Amino acid sequence: MALAPAVLCGPARAAAPACPIVYFDLGETLVHTAEDGGIGYRPGADSYLRELRERHIRVGLITNVPSAWGATDAERAARLKREVDATWHGSTPFAWQDFGDRILTPRTEAERKPAPALWQRAKAGSDGCRVVHQAETAEEVRAASAVGFVPYQVGRPHRPAFLPVRLVELLGDRHHSPA
């Protein structure tokens, strides 16, 4: 039986946003770029996002795009959406609506991952919730961990494709303030 987010965060947190927040890298974590240049969900990614949505767990993206794509995260995110949608394969469109304004992109080339800037910005906007980062490279999960994220490397053999949702929910039981 799934617990409501307010229960997971404790009675005193009932009016606060659901915790934790799960951030993802985009390329080769949630989506795959095919040899023909098309983009589509990686196996299990669409159902995983749907399960997080059904459990009211907020999600975000921390992704490298050219800083020249815009002056703000919103402008760079809009360009990213256009680029992805233009070559999207599959009957289920990418779930952009799930991410809201939690699509963080580098403001300058110096902010590109694995520099800590994007993770620091995500943590600063986390409302004191625990933050998770899921990515396909060990370098990114190490960088996220160094900033205080709960890291998970996707695509590893003999492990779940993504951090199991029940474990993500349990992180909400351990609400804490940002460092």
Q: What is the pLDDT of residues 54-74, one digit of tens each?
A: 999 999 999 999 999 999 999
The whole-number pLDDT of residue 36 equals: 82
DSSP 25: -
C-alpha distance from residue 90 to each of 46, 51, 71, 146 (Å): 11, 19, 31, 36
Q: What is the pLDDT of residues 31-45, one digit of tens each?
A: 999 888 889 999 999
Q: What is the pLDDT of residues 131-163, one digit of tens each?
A: 999 999 999 999 999 999 999 999 999 999 999
Percent of the chain with pLDDT over 90: 79
Coil, strand, or helix at residue 129?
coil
| pTM of the predicted model as reported, rounded to 2 decimal places | 0.86
